[in-house]
Structure 1
Amino acid sequence: MTLRWLLALCSIWGVAEALPASVTLKNIRHEPQSLNNCAPVTAMTLLGYYGASVTQAQAAAVMKDYPGDPQVTSVELANYLGRAGLRSVIRYAGDAELLRTLVANGFPVVLQQRLQQGSNVAHFRTVYGYSAGYFLTSDPLLGPSLRLTPAQLMSLWAYYNGEYLVAYPPAKEAQVQAILGRDFSTAANWQHLRTHGEQDVKARPGDPYAWWGLAKATLRLGNPRLASEYFERAINLGVPTMYYLYRQEAFEAWTQAGKHSRTLSVTQRALQTFPRSKELQHFRTLASRSLEKPGS
């Protein structure tokens, strides 16, 4: 029994009792996504659950940099939800127990995962139920009632280091804080991810995504030089070019550590595939300007 579990139960129900064996949240609106529209559909699903109406086309018009933009980040999703009055927390190193606790207390949870095994495409899906042996998700591409076993869910989730988003009305913040416990603090969650990453790279030293998670936590905790080493380890183990469309933390670390040539080299390669990515363009410009300075 974890501290998080105890805090959630004691704060919300007042007494320690087991989570329900099965939960399915109601009012989960689903709509098949248009191309690269998993984030707008996810926004539609969450806003619909909390009583607001929006179409995926309306959400896409605000969230995307241009029609067909293949990448919307969790932060951009949270910002859009904020326009409608919802607060969001984005955290890492999530686990099955946390998902059950959040869902049992009425909070659907957005996961950033692989689309499917073997795919390099990032994908949002929303967990809104669970029962013995599976989690129930609304998947913008694969359907409104996609069932994933805990093993399947965790495997797809490891690609993005257990990243999750919880959106909620401001009046429910105390509930979310109680459920997340220390992880409600951003700094504490980075420490959690670092510990998780250290365990993962020890258990799976050949896993590039485990190294990426450790690198990201190390960067956020203020050590860009060590983070740069971990990012290099991840890249050398085989991070695909598409990953840079969704994750730019390596460029942040290299920029802070003064490794501008490395940033320029990788962003130029990635931009050959994704020439309109504003994030890749941003870091390429930073690197180019830094290298043009005298003494660089």
Structure 2
Amino acid sequence: MPRWRWWAWGLAMAVLGMGALWEGLHRLPPRYVARVLPEPLQLWFWPAHPDRVPTPMATPPADWLAAWLTPSAGTPQPSPAPSIPRIPSLRPPTAPPPLRPTVTRPAPTPTVTPARFPGPTQAARNTPAALEQADVLLYGVRHAFQTWNNCGPATLAMALSFYGWPGTQKEAAAVLKPDPEDKNVSPEEMAAFARRLGLGAKVRVNGTLDLLRRLLRAGFPVILETGFEPDPKQGWMGHYRLLIGYSERAGQFIVMDSYMGPNQGVPAEEADRYWRHFNRTYVLIYRPEEEGRLREVVGPDWEDDRRMWEGALARAQQEIQANAQDAFAWFNAGAALLRLGRPSDAAAAFDQARALGLPWRILWYRFEPFEAYLAVGRYREVIALADANLRVTPYVEEWYDFKGQALLALGDREGARALFQRALRFNPNFATARAHLAMVSP
């Protein structure tokens, strides 16, 4: 064979080999990319993503929108629509390690464990709080920096340490997110984990800054689900924070943050601005004998779900009337309408939120639009929305489940089964997908 052919053959093999290597590198889980590559090179490996959530296939009627923008009109009247059965929320199949008796820790400074995957070095938005100015400061929380993509288990482990649990975020994550790349742990999943330890746990929405202060004064740390923007290059994302105190003089809450560090001072206005991105959701963990006292602090919203969601809806409408371009207010209104049994109105509110523009990661954490669109039969919308997100990352098991439900409604039983199975491969503890798989299995 002529020498040039050998060279051509070798070059072709080298190109194919480099192509295979490149494809293999792009299939690496993101945590390995973040761990081994310098930051400039990481950009080559992250999938391209849109700037906003895809716009809806439909837009709300003009008269429907006008009713929302007229203070005297109140919220629009319910539109009749079919509903879908609710499936019980996830419960871990195996109990986590047993809870030990509460340990009193007199030291004012929490223990800090080193970060395994340190975050970016960009300047933080908030800074360590001046603890001597604190009006209320709860001691006994063991701080931990989160490992990769692990703010939920890390924050939960910090909250549980206040009640003497000796476990770590690794133990919590083994139940809450068996796949390390899982992008979301829900508040209800965190509450279920705490209950399996023998503690009480409650998830509520539509909290207020005053309620947070009352809870802290009563001796209860509070987990907040909140928006988070650590630096412009990363953009908006969801996050959990544990409140342990506040300072009226400084106008700050004191926060155990798994990303930023212990004892962070977060301005109250900023805390509320990002908290409302999740409908001001908060998680309370407590000893069972303290439930009565906690009920008194929270008030009627403790057990009256309808009252709570009606309050959330009224609050969202006030924010819409103050700023009709507020996409998060429309999104929160949609969530409240869905929980109040008005899925058609909820779908219209979600359409408006998407038309105005939402951060592209919002559906990693909040799934109410999928529920509303399924309830009103907009199955193609569910599939398109799930596919748009799966093109960016495959690591959200809920999307497979919602797309599977849509395919099942359209008659594709085998396609639905495959998606439910895939959801369970990502998270074997995902009870909703397991229930749906049982429905379509022989």
**What TM-score do the two structures reach when normalised by structure 1?**
0.89
CA RMSD of aligned residues (A): 1.4
AA aligned opposite 1:62: V
Alpha-carbon contact 2:181-2:395 (below 8 Å) kept: no
Q: Give the one of 273, 277, 286 matched to 1:155.
A: 273
Cα deviation per residue 1:140-169 (whole Å; 9 max; x = unaligned)? 000111101111111111211211111111
Q: Give the one of 341, 354, 358 matched to 1:222.
A: 341
2:178 and 2:362 mapped to 1: Cα distance? 19
Task: Determine if the alignment matches structure 1 residue 243 to structure 2 residue 356.
Answer: no
Task: Determine if the alignment matches structure 1 residue 123 to structure 2 residue 239.
Answer: yes
Map 1:264-279 → 2, pairs under 5 A: 264-279=383-398
How much has 1:28 moved relative to structure 2? 1.3
Alpha-carbon contact 1:183-1:192 (below 8 Å) kept: no
Task: Determine if the alignment matches structure 1 residue 50 to structure 2 residue 163.
Answer: yes
Q: Give the one of 292, 298, 302 matched to 1:174.
A: 292
Structure 1: runs of 5 or more not aligned: 1-20
Q: Give the one of 281, 284, 287 matched to 2:403.
A: 284
Alpha-carbon contact 2:310-2:340 (below 8 Å) kept: yes
1:241 and 1:114 mapped to 2: Cα distance? 12
63-72 or 147-156, which deviates more: 63-72
2:198 and 2:239 mapped to 1: Cα distance? 24
Alpha-carbon contact 1:116-1:156 (below 8 Å) kept: no
Runs of 4+ in 1 over 4 A off after TM superposition: none
Task: Determine if the alignment matches structure 1 residue 69 to structure 2 residue 182.
Answer: yes
How much has 1:276 moved relative to structure 2? 3.0
**What TM-score do the two structures reach when normalised by structure 2?**
0.60
AA aligned opposite 1:167: I
Query: Number of paired residues?
Result: 273
1:200 and 1:91 mapped to 2: Cα distance? 20
2:263 and 2:274 mapped to 1: Cα distance? 17
Map 1:80-99 → 2, pairs under 5 A: 80-99=193-212
Structure 2: runs of 5 or more not aligned: 1-133, 413-442
Task: Determine if the alignment matches structure 1 residue 34 to structure 2 residue 147.
Answer: yes
Partner of 1:204: 323
Alpha-carbon contact 2:149-2:180 (below 8 Å) kept: no
How much has 1:84 moved relative to structure 2? 1.0
Higher relative contact order (CA 8 A, sep 6+): 2
Q: Give the one of 339, 342, 353 matched to 1:234.
A: 353
Q: Give the one of 242, 264, 284 matched to 1:146.
A: 264
Partner of 2:138: 25
Aligned-partner SS, 1:27? coil
How much has 1:134 moved relative to structure 2? 0.9
AA aligned opposite 1:145: N
Alpha-carbon contact 1:63-1:77 (below 8 Å) kept: yes
Aligned-partner SS, 1:53? coil
Alpha-carbon contact 1:111-1:125 (below 8 Å) kept: yes
Aligned-partner SS, 1:261? helix
1:135 and 1:50 mapped to 2: Cα distance? 21
1:234 and 1:88 mapped to 2: Cα distance? 31
Larger radius of gyration: 2
How much has 1:138 moved relative to structure 2? 0.3
Q: Percent identity?
A: 33
Aligned-partner SS, 1:273? coil
How much has 1:240 moved relative to structure 2? 2.7
Alpha-carbon contact 2:207-2:282 (below 8 Å) kept: yes
AA aligned opposite 2:281: E
AA aligned opposite 2:324: P
Alpha-carbon contact 2:383-2:406 (below 8 Å) kept: yes
Q: Give the one of 259, 266, 275 matched to 2:378.
A: 259
1:116 and 1:274 mapped to 2: Cα distance? 19
Partner of 1:135: 253
2:298 and 2:305 mapped to 1: Cα distance? 11
Alpha-carbon contact 1:251-1:263 (below 8 Å) kept: yes
Aligned-partner SS, 2:279? coil
